[in-house]
Amino acid sequence: MRIAVLDATALQALVSAAVAAPSIHNTQPWLLRLDPDALTPEIRAATRRCLRHADPAGRARHLSSAAPY
């Protein structure tokens, strides 16, 4: 597998697109951060942004962010 190196411009474009991306219930249930050791972006599910009553199992959150719980 080939690993691509992202420059600052490409990383900024990815973050901007992720922030503006649509999601189920329009909650944008993700968190983005840069792993300082690997210099790679990480995406995680934002549990505080989930709708517990509408999505008690977290499936919509998982599908929206494509991130692990």
Residue 16: inside a domain: no
* pLDDT at position 69: 46
Residue 44: inside a domain: yes
pLDDT digits (tens, 9 = 90+) for 31-65: 887 777 776 778 887 878 778 888 888 788 777 76
Residue 39: inside a domain: yes
Residue span of the structural domain in which 43 resides:
25-69
Residue 51: inside a domain: yes
pTM, two decimal places: 0.56
Residue 58: inside a domain: yes
Number of domains in the chain: 1
Strands (E), 1-65: 30-35, 40-45
